[in-house]
Structure 1
Amino acid sequence: MRLAVCAEMVYGDLPLIERVVRIHEQGFDIELWDTRGRDIAALAATGARFSSMSGYFGGSLTDPASADEVVASAEKLVPVALELGVERMVVHPAELGEGGTAVNPVLRSTGQMWLTGLRTLERLAELGAKYGVTFALENLNTIVDHPGIPLARAKDTHALVAAVDHPNVRMMLDLYHAQIGEGNLIELVRTALPFIGEIQVADVPGRFEPGTGEINYRAVAEALCGAGYGGVVGLEAGAAGGPGVPAGDAALAAFRAAFES
């Protein structure tokens, strides 16, 4: 497995470029969020390997009124992904607003939302095939971080990606979100394995590095190895910190210890 770290969530006292360099120097790939307004040439010049970035900036995958906006914004971001060599462009089941809240919260998912999501992902698959990028649909939890997002559970995102069944559409399987909303993580990764593009991790509660909460990430890592997973595992977590070692360094060391044999 390759290990990546989300540069948005560690070393927050440093400018983004310095965060990327520090993570890269420790041997990790880089995950990014919104790349708009950022110095893409400077990011590329770091020599870092970028595993994922946000793949759209407007609209809802599951809303017929704004699904076109998802595809249009994704196409605008493709040149950035190509310049950075990003492997996966991340999309969500619906539009996220400030702090990850739903722009248009819904109480329940409908068949129309499911069909619209399927058709939008099929369009993204065509776009991905055209440019040689992969779109990754991320599951979210609606209990703590993202209330009002439809089709957000891992079993829903798995069903959508499996229905599209295209190599340029995969899952961004976030085990932090899955633990809060569903649990049973080892069986989840085994079931979803054929459609996983990347896995993200953080411990629960708190969304910090492995070892700070209830998830046995060492057991998850062993299950992934046993199942033959050879893709990316990304740390999308804050750094809890501790005595004697900078919080970011300690978080990355704990992450590596959990996932490297």
Structure 2
Amino acid sequence: MSIKANNSPFRLAACSEMIFQDIPFMERLEKIAGRGLEVEMWDWTNKDLDVIAGTGIPISSMTGYVSGNLTDKDEIPNLLESAKRSVEAAHVVGCTRLVIHGTGLGEGGIPVKPVQVVTGAMWAQAALTLNALSKIGRDGDVMFTLENLNLPVDHAGTPFNSPHDTLALVSAVDSPNVRMNLDLYHAQIGDGQLIETCRTSLPWIGEIQIADAPGRCEPGTGEINYRNVALALKDMGYTGVVAMEAFASGDSDQALDTFIETFSV
């Protein structure tokens, strides 16, 4: 019998793009919601938003831009305009958090414009762009969350890739409409020290995403002691979203069982 997420101090969620991949997308939403979990998705442009809205299942997180990046003057208008369209899409499906990255990502998660050296001018411009995004978020009553990404395995050439980078930018903007999407899978590959990273980042976290490393599957399939992470987050007083953005190593229902058990502390 599958476990429902009703004994956790956190708001548990699962990414519909990465599990139940053998069934249609709409059925994935129903399976995840049926477990008492919030539902997340990625690109909204290839989804029928009206059909999703008709299910009554709110989407708690999705991609918050379609094109553009934080630093290039010819790309910033594209980012801000597509962010506005993302807010409109979010309203259709009841979504409150929109994910952004250090730069635009293309096929396979590789940056459209890879960056090897991040200059001081890029840091300054990124903060200004995030400040503009915060105003869009405030007007649209949504939160943009800036996600850290790892370089060695999945996202080579991404600027502002570490949790330290995203924390620096988000804290500089200092807006409730721009927060961190602290992805602990990416953080483990790039930096480690997950519990201390959570503690340092706590005031700025809009969401935590998890997957084990290596492999990017559910907890218990890699080297991260997610039970200890869960206990530490509870002790810190964190009560926000913890989302499994991970593949299932085998059966998707069993992967969700493991996830729910691990974060029910």
Q: Give the 3-state SS of the residue equivalent to 2:207 in structure 1.
A: strand
List gaps (5 residues or longer) in structure 1: 242-246
* Cα offsets for 1:178-222 (capped at 9, x unmatched): 000000000000000000000000000000000000000000001
1:182 matched to 2:200: no
* Cα offsets for 1:3-29 (capped at 9, x unmatched): 000000000011110000011011100
1:248 matched to 2:221: no
| Matches for 1:181-260 after TM superposition, within 5 Å | 181-241=190-250, 247-260=251-264
Return the offset for 1:65.
2.5
| Matches for 1:137-176 after TM superposition, within 5 Å | 137-176=146-185
**What is the percent sequence identity of the aligned residues?**
52
Letter in 2 for 1:203: D
Structure 2 distance, partners of 1:62, 1:177, is: 22
Letter in 1 for 2:49: I
Letter in 1 for 2:25: L
| Matches for 1:82-101 after TM superposition, within 5 Å | 82-101=91-110
| Matches for 1:22-61 after TM superposition, within 5 Å | 22-61=31-70
Letter in 2 for 1:105: P
Structure 2 distance, partners of 1:64, 1:224, is: 39
TM-score by length of 1: 0.96
Letter in 2 for 1:250: Q
Superposition RMSD on alpha carbons, in Å? 0.8
List gaps (5 residues or longer) in structure 2: 1-9
* Cα offsets for 1:8-67 (capped at 9, x unmatched): 000001111000001101110011100113111221222223221000010111222211
**Aligned position for 1:244:** none
Return the offset for 1:149.
0.6
Give yes or no for contact 1:53–1:90 (8 Å, CA) kept in 2. Answer: yes
Structure 2 distance, partners of 1:217, 1:168, is: 28
* Cα offsets for 1:105-143 (capped at 9, x unmatched): 111211111111101100000001111011000000011
Letter in 2 for 1:6: C
Letter in 2 for 1:19: R
Letter in 2 for 1:208: C
1:126 to 128, 135, 153: 135
**Aligned position for 1:76:** 85
Structure 1 distance, partners of 2:34, 2:157, is: 39
* Cα offsets for 1:80-126 (capped at 9, x unmatched): 10121111100000110100001111112111111111011000000
Letter in 2 for 1:223: A
Structure 2 distance, partners of 1:120, 1:92, is: 12
Structure 1 distance, partners of 2:44, 2:64, is: 9
Return the offset for 1:150.
0.9
TM-score by length of 2: 0.95
| Matches for 1:9-20 after TM superposition, within 5 Å | 9-20=18-29
Q: Give the 3-state SS of the residue equivalent to 1:102 in structure 2.
A: coil
Structure 1 distance, partners of 2:248, 2:151, is: 23
Q: Give the 3-state SS of the residue equivalent to 1:37 in structure 2.
A: coil
Return the offset for 1:237.
0.4
Return the offset for 1:229.
0.4
